[in-house]
Amino acid sequence: MKQNFNHIQLPDISETLINKVLYEHSEGGGNEIDKKLLSLFEFMGDNKSVCEVTIKVAALNTIYATAINYIKPVVAKIVEIIPNDISKNDENDFVKFIDNIAIVSWKNESINEEYSRINLSFASKYVHFLSKRKMPIYDSYMWIIMVGYFNQYKNLNLSFAKPADYSEFFQLFNKFKAEFNLGKFFNFEIDKFLWHCGKMALSKIIKEDDIKMGAAKSKLKKQLKP
C-alpha cells in the first residue's frame, strides 16, 4: 500500500498480489486453525444438539475473540434455526441462516431486564464453517478494505458504515468478486485476502500512532478515501 500521512492508495488487485497475501496469512498459522475448525464442525455435525453447538460456539468465540459474554441464547438460536440436514441448502439459505442467528435476545430473570444483540460477524463465521467455507466471513477489517477498493478503483462513494445485514454484505462481496475479476478464487480466499490487508494496515497505524483499534479504524477509513 502506498501511504502518506493523510492517504493510503490500495495496490492494484492481481493474482500475484492475492497469492502473496494468502501465503503470508498461511505462514501466520491461519490456514491450520481453519482446518481444525472445519474438522470440529464435521465431527460435531448434529445441529440440534445443544452440547455440540455449545462447543462450536465457544470455540469460535474464543479463537476469533467475538466478545460474546453469554453464549446460551446464541446456542439456542442456532439450534432453533439451522436444520440438521443442510446438504440441500444453497447460498440463499445460508444467507438467511446468518441473518437469523445473528439476532439474539434474552432476559435476565433476576433483574427482569431484557437484552438483544446483533452478532453479524460471529454468525457469518459460524455458517462459514457450517457451509464448508462457501460463505465469506463478514468482518470489519475486510469490510473497510473492500469498500476502500470500490471507492478508489470504481469511482464509487460507498459508506464505510457497517452493513445492515449479511444479505447486504454478500451482495457487495459478490459485486466485488465480479468487478475485480476474481472468479478463479474461492470466496474464503477473497475474504482472507481482504481481512489480512485490513489487519496489516490497522496494525501499522496502531503501532505508529499508539492508538486503540477503534481510533485506528477511523483513521484508516479516512486514509482510504479516493
Query: Domain boundary at 93, 111, 130, which?
Result: 130
Give yes or no: residues 156 and 75 share one domain: no
* pLDDT of amino acid 6: 78
Residue 4 has pLDDT above 70, yes or no: no
pTM, 2 dp: 0.93
Give yes or no: residues 9 and 65 share one domain: no
Q: Which residues contact 33 (CB under 8 A, 6 or more apart)?
A: 63
Query: Domain boundary at 115, 130, 145, which?
Result: 130
Mean pLDDT of 19-45: 92
pLDDT digits (tens, 9 = 90+) for 181-202: 999 999 999 999 999 999 999 9
Give yes or no: residues 164 and 83 share one domain: no
* pLDDT of amino acid 29: 81
Residue 5 has pLDDT above 70, yes or no: no
CA–CA distance from 48 to each of 11, 117, 208 (Å)? 45, 22, 47
Counting the structural domains of the chain, the total is: 2
Query: Domain boundary at 107, 130, 153, which?
Result: 130
Percent of the chain residues topping a pLDDT of 90: 84
* pLDDT of amino acid 1: 60
Domain that holds residue 90: 33-130
Please give the Cα distance from 162 to 144 (Å, whole number).
9
